[in-house]
A and B are shown apart, each in its own frame.
Chain A
């Protein structure tokens, strides 16, 4: 896109820039001037990335409070090597599991005649409404020793639970990978499903016309076309596993984020915690860079991809339909029916309906807090990502700013909290101790996915469209509103909703950053789970949060064509 910017630069402007930008380089090749000029143009956009970059820089400053040898000793004491190895294993297992759940799900509902495909297609993105740490809570209630399953087993045998042997398979890294994979699978689903609906059916038709069997078409055409989507979804999950805090804490897996949190709570030096955090951030950044490399070439701007979610050829499954149905029932059971049912079952233990009602009413302030900060955070993120994405789309830089914004994604909530508290305390005292830090944190955490969403929405609009409108004499703003707006609007709204939902359920940074007395629903769930035990009250609040997060999703799904996920399509609002 930068090259396009250079190409469309008017010669007059280049001449203007020449003497100022590079006074002695009369013989300098023009592209240098162009590059310089576009860099200058990008500067304001770059500044927009400051809220994301500052906490990261401050993390380095915090680590700098200790000497290099101290830091190194601290890392050694924390057994950094084995920790990285275990984390890599955890993240890989999580990713494989999420792909195993999400990808077949997407393919089955998009391309096969599995019974109930419309319903399952519909349900695909819904587990996103269940925060993974709520999933962890559910599976702790179900599978831990002395949990529901253990008790049911003991009941069947007619013996006290302590006499019934029961291995608690849910705690530890494998349990964490199981839960994380299950509840991040929708990311894979959305990516793969979106890709499946964007694949030009003509390509597959051609392969079929050349005499390929359906399996061959899938392997030689569909799968390669899905590769970017699988990679994108998989890497999203992979990164998620590295930065997650809630699930691994509740399921007692030792990870970077839990270690950092322990350092914080134990009152260890912030430098040691910051040192550990930097290692984590560096690793995640590395993964993100690799991701950028791997996905760099994948850009969709084909006309058929843009206009309408297309139905590819349906593969008849024959007798396998029922196996497929069983599979879909199982995964929707594990990710939706079971969590919701169990939460409800546990919540009802609080007492008679009026007691539950009274308890839920008590949660109103926390709910209101959650809504406020999430709304502010996702809106901030959209504004920022919108400007940067728009600049990028028009070829006005924004690439570096976008890359900087992406670094926010590499900062786990725990680490962000660790950095933002002293940062606010030292440099932005009016912010310290106010809820304003929370939207800022959400901005940092969710600007990257928001930018991706904005870019994806804009990518559906061919750049020529804007040029055409501009050529008709309209200004850039008019072009934005007349062409890009209508075409990208729904994608952008979906993006906002996604970051709103993510902010609504954010736990790790919120725990650390919330000012005294300002709890959000996730914090309440956390408190009841860890400080009281997997309590019915935790279940009730979790249910409340799930409904709260799920409602916007449902509404969005309902007002649109059924079965099309908000992220997975790029057509105009209709």
Chain B
């Protein structure tokens, strides 16, 4: 049994109705219905646990208004996040190893015990859909803001506008607060300085189909949320036919598709490939370890479209059991101290214009203001992404 010791007893309530066929019904049918019955179902799942009865009625009546004013919300969530205690379950599409510094800082500051469920961005989004508000998680922390947007459209996220979100540009957050971009990352080409000839360094990702890069390029499989987002953005910018042809040309040019970005970055560092399509922060630890790696910001020329900048998106799940902690986490992830672990260690950059990385920046890493990039419309990208999954899952799955 997965225990969340000390979980707020108020959140358990009597099983007032326990339909046996609830699973089938929920899976098949619409979102709105799930919304109404959420509480019953959640309780049924905890059938083996002792039930607290005191606030059952109150909770049941509050169901309808939950979306607007979730019970158990903290009185005020000011910018510095104080001690909260309790537990929090984070569904994280970010790799556990990269997530840890943030989580540990949050735990230290708030006394909340965090449980991580790490998985693919798509996997978690699909799980949340299957869970239909009956989720085990409280917070979704995803590398793929478009999938968060898709969940928002399906009503599976709990809107929360953090006071700390004010400075985040509208482009990087949902207007209703269903998801908020916390920190930015750019799409880059990482290269091995021992293997790449300076005169051959590509200036654009679209050059990589050139025969001179044959067999020298790796990218991550579509298991990575940011790969999906990158492809979706490319489709938005240049169309589906172009994107499919581009990927096929890359493959024909000996593209290696590896499981994830870590593998790509390691392959570049070890010299297995010369160039890797990665997010910029995979370059930073390698550079600091003294690996022979360099970073290219592609497509920055005057007539070029720039390179994609995407946010890490944080959101609270509908039906989250630890609302107070979830809000505290959102606040924290958006606060300066919450961003510190990410900005100093991996050089992910604040999305707020004018805020750079300061001394933490590794050589070659640029803040958001200095990156030429396409604008992103996540409502559109969310639609395109479904198509991306259909088109590219079979061909960008990784493996030889």
Q: Interface on A for B, CB 8 Å cutoff?
A: 74, 77-79, 144-147, 160-163, 168, 171-173, 248-249, 252-255, 258-259, 261-268, 270, 272, 421-422, 425-427, 429-430, 432-436, 515-518, 527-528, 530-533
Contact = CB atoms under 8 A, between A and B. Distances in A.
A530 B47 contact: no
Contacts of B33: none
Q: Sort A-B residue pairs by CB-CB distance and give the 7 closest, nearest first.
A: A267-B122, A146-B270, A265-B120, A254-B399, A426-B23, A517-B115, A516-B117
Given A254-B397, A259-B397, A425-B130, A162 B262 contact: no
A468 B126 CA distance: 60
A272 B126 CA distance: 13
24 contacts: A77-B390, A77-B394, A144-B270, A162-B271, A173-B400, A249-B399, A252-B258, A252-B398, A259-B397, A265-B119, A265-B122, A266-B221, A267-B126, A272-B393, A421-B130, A426-B23, A426-B24, A430-B44, A432-B45, A432-B136, A435-B2, A527-B118, A528-B97, A533-B266
Contact of B389 (A258, A268, A425, A432): A268
A267 B262 contact: no
Contacts of B125: 267
A268 B390 contact: yes
Interface in B257-309: 258-260, 262-263, 266, 269-272, 292
Contacts of B17: none
Nearest to A422: B130
Nearest to A436: B1
A258 B398 contact: yes
A163 to B, nearest CB: 8
A74 B209 CA distance: 27
A249 B259 contact: yes
A266 B1 contact: no
Given A160-B194, A432-B45, A168 B272 contact: yes
B131 A425 contact: yes
Contacts of B272: 144-146, 168
Contact of A162 (B26, B292, B398): B292
Contacts of B137: 516
B339 interface: no
B136 A433 contact: yes
Contacts of A258: 397-399
Interface of B: 1-2, 22-24, 26-27, 41, 44-48, 89, 91, 95-98, 115-123, 125-127, 130-131, 134, 136-137, 147, 192, 194-195, 221-223, 228, 258-260, 262-263, 266, 269-272, 292, 389-390, 393-394, 397-400
A259 B120 CA distance: 14
Contacts, number: 166
A433 B222 contact: no
B389 A78 contact: no
Contacts of B389: 266-268
Contacts of A264: 120, 122-123, 126
A429 B266 contact: no
Contacts of A168: 272
A446 to B, nearest CB: 22
B382 to A, nearest CB: 12
Given A145-B271, A516-B137, A531-B96, A429 B22 contact: yes
Contacts of B2: 433-435, 515-518
A267 B389 CA distance: 7
B271 A262 contact: no
A528 to B, nearest CB: 8
B219 to A, nearest CB: 13
A532 B271 contact: no
A436 B258 CA distance: 33
B44, B119, B393 interface centre (most CB from chain A within 10 Å): B393
Nearest to B132: A425
Given A425-B23, A530-B262, A266 B400 contact: no
Contact of A531 (B91, B97, B221, B292): B97
A516 B136 contact: yes
Contacts of B269: 146
Contact of A161 (B96, B120, B260, B271): B271
Contact of B45 (A78, A261, A429, A518): A429
B222 A266 contact: yes
A258 B123 CA distance: 14
Nearest to A166: B271
Contacts of A253: 399-400
A335 B14 CA distance: 56
Nearest to B271: A162
A146, A249, A516 interface centre (most CB from chain B within 10 Å): A516
B1, B122, B221, B397 interface centre (most CB from chain A within 10 Å): B397
Contact of A262 (B44, B131, B221, B270): B221
Contacts of B271: 145-146, 161-162
A258 B115 CA distance: 27
A46 to B, nearest CB: 23
Contact of A252 (B120, B131, B223, B400): B400
